[in-house]
Amino acid sequence: MTQQSYSVVRRSFSVSGVDVSYQIYTNNLASSSERLVLLHGAGVAGELTWSAIVEHLDHWGQILVPDLRGMGETRCLDGSESAFTVQEVCDDVVHLLDQLGWWRFDLGGYSFGGLIAMLLKQRNPSRVGQLYLLEPALLDRADINEVRSIRERYSEAAQHIRQHHDPSDGIRLFLDTIAPGRNRSDKTESMTISRLAERPLGFANALDSVTRSAHEVERDQLLEHLQHAELFAGGRSVRELHDHYLHLARQNTMVNYHEVKGTDHSLPYQKPRQIARLMNEARQRYTNS
């Protein structure tokens, strides 16, 4: 897909005290009527996360990219930055899909959005075709107790963000935990922090919602619904994450694992063309199977 091949509209939909902002990309050259939903990570809006990838997707006729609670243009109707749960975020997306009449679609999610995607698949398995998961939350280690311990560090970062006028140090604490092998050049670090500081309280709320879910969500039940799934991991991400993805792919023939070399947890921003190519190829295999 090229920039000239699709049109995009932004709309909003109010539900449960939240005005959910979303974009729909229509591929004017696609012969397919297939639909794709893409969910972003904590702290960064849908358009910034996915637009460079969408430019190179060529299978889907329509692509829905919402802004999740606390991020992008989605805001509480009372103007607050209220805490939320991952289940409430999942509810928002389901209500939006129902409103649009999207009863069957493929689904992609990055980090926080990857967890929401897995919850959606668990809730509505018949509605979701193929899954594309870019380092989804709660799958970064095989041992769930280790995942919970790491999530507590994310919540320490969230608390730091709330307590200081400048959220930069709290964001660095988050980055040091989730992407210790990242590119630390001044330009890259500054750009990453700037993205995550756009709505710092919403970002902090998202981090805490995942920490709570690590204790409340039955991860094994999520894994039972990990079917027709493509797992993507940045080549510079921690070895334990890669080992877990490789194990999941070996024990489940309906899971494929892709290492995106030269990237860290910020893989959708660093290698959008490569990720889009892998998604296109995976969807073609799925169609032909």
Amino acid at 276: A
User: Which residues of the chain register pLDDT less than 70?
Assistant: 1-4
Q: Give the pLDDT confidence score for residue 5 in this predicted structure.
A: 79
CA–CA gap between residue 229 and residue 37 (Å, rounded):
14
- H-type alpha helices, the chain: 46-54, 86-100, 112-123, 144-163, 168-178, 186-196, 200-216, 219-224, 239-251, 267-270, 272-288
The CA distances from residue 16 to 19, 91, 124, 282, 288, in Å, are 8, 9, 20, 36, 40
CA–CA gap between residue 151 and residue 104 (Å, rounded):
33
Nearest to 76 by CA among 20, 10, 23, 11: 20
CA–CA gap between residue 175 and residue 90 (Å, rounded):
25
Nearest to 75 by CA among 117, 18, 29, 33: 18
The CA distances from residue 98 to 95, 101, 102, 198, in Å, are 5, 5, 6, 29
CA–CA gap between residue 77 and residue 48 (Å, rounded):
23
Report pLDDT digits (tens) over 218-253: 999 999 999 999 999 999 999 999 999 999 999 999
Q: Answer whether 0.85 is exceeded by the pTM.
A: yes
Nearest to 142 by CA among 250, 59, 44: 250
CA–CA gap between residue 93 and residue 119 (Å, rounded):
11
All structural domains of the chain with their residue ranges: 3-143+218-288
Q: Give the pLDDT confidence score for residue 4 in this predicted structure.
A: 53
Report pLDDT digits (tens) over 174-195: 999 999 999 899 999 999 999 9
CATH of domain 3-143+218-288: 3.40.50.1820
Nearest to 272 by CA among 50, 117, 86: 50
Q: Give the pLDDT confidence score for residue 111 in this predicted structure.
A: 98
